[in-house]
A and B are shown apart, each in its own frame.
Chain A
Amino acid sequence: MNRNLHFLFLLGSLLLLPAISQAQKIIFTPQWTPQAQFAGYYVAQDKGFYREAGLDVDIVHPSASQSALSRIARNESHATTLMLPQAMEIIDNGIQLVNILQTSMNSGLVIVSRKNEDPLKQKGMRVGAWSVGFDQLPLSMSIKENLGYQWIRFVSGINLLLSGAIDATVAMSYNEYYQLVQAGMELTDTNVYRFCDHGYNVQEDGVYVTREYYEKNRDKAIKFAEASRRGWEWAAEHPEETLDIVMEYVREYRVDTNRTLQKLMLDEILRLQLDRESGQREFRLRPDMVTLMNQLMIENQMLINEVKYEDLIAL
């Protein structure tokens, strides 16, 4: 129900996108507050890669009162980052999106148990999941493995787990995972379940625009994707300077984080960008992963229709 509401907001926003009209202007909204997860875009902006591509890019972050979706709803952004399952859901809901840049090559999703026990062996336990989504993979897995988890939705953070209100939580290996480590939790191979290691390795972050926008601004979108890719490649080569840039954004938005956490996040994000098979930063959507995700989501009634690889990429 909640998810559908978000889609409505997104739908409205995407339909209104053409209203933003300046020749080379692009407003880009990452899906979360400033952090190293978006380092490549900050680098592209700060190092002038967007400018060199002839683009005038504004990076506008969501806030408590202006989530990424609400910004879209208000017709204030052209491009955003989405996780692949999210994008597939949106397309399944009738909004055509184009993946113009796929940054993630692996899944960073994990389930962390409060006790030092294998999450797969704790059937029926309370597991925290974000109220805004990103739960397609955990839900699919728990159904497939017949775990009977009791899902507890929460906005963000790790307090429910720390206080013992829940037994485990879904976390991102680059974000909440390190927050838990920073909170003194001992994370081991036993109490951390990594989806990527159990046949659920599905790509995550990519940059999406509406297909309509793409058709009308193909050149601009391609330039934006290329400059963003350049930003990520530079970040991989200059992690310390990248961290400096990230921290500027973090400070500007007064995010509750620190350089140590952001460093760990950047390292992990960059690691997730390496394709497991080629070891390269490929920046492409993998058809096999799209197929896998389709299979999981259709099995669990998360998709009505299959969202094919061709439906996601620019033709």
Chain B
Amino acid sequence: MNAVKIRKLTRRFGETTVLNNLDLDLRPGEFVALLGRSGSGKTTFLRTLAGLDPAPDDAIVRVPAPTAVVFQEPRLMPWKRVWRNVILGLNAPRDRAEAALREVGLAHRIDVWPATLSGGEAQRVALARALVRAPKLLLLDEPFAALDALTRIRMHALITDLWTAHAPTTLLVTHDVDEAVLLADRAVVLDGGRIAADIQIDLPRPRRHAQSQFATLRARLLAELGVNESHFAGAA
């Protein structure tokens, strides 16, 4: 039984077809990276899964509940202290927020206003807000794109730890091939609203860039995205 089942998903905005008759299955606990160039429809796909965009009637979109989303921006309510942001929309005590914040290493920031958080901290609070819901499906919409390189490395480790501990089915939308190879079990490349490639990543965790298969997978994914590495190597 798959955790997520998508059949015949088509989305059009005016004349443009963003998603074209898409089929995709996610196994329970699977970490899937959804890659694609800008405008390839990957965010639209995630929004449809999250229920933020309506699914067309003729499509099958089956997702488990509860679902949680972490966006590119933290999207914290600036008028709520950190712990109230974490349990937003839940009828949960402060302890639950504290436990989730401890998991992302921010228990000491539980009472502050979001305006005092750094970018990385704010994104970790957003992660805690998703975690506290114990999601069966975790949707990550380029959650590290706005972070600096060092913070991003730490976030990658944190995501791996949290995913290992809680094993939610995870869909990570990203345009960063390294990120996909580093984190995911499977990379799906979206191009022109269709799945252009669906590649298993069977590397043992923790993964390092230095692993030889890493470079091979990376080059393959980049090729699927229309980037030829040797082209740059030749130019250098």
A and B part of one assembly: no
Residue numbers of A with Cβ under 8 A of B are none
Residues of B whose CB lies within 8 Å of any CB of A are none
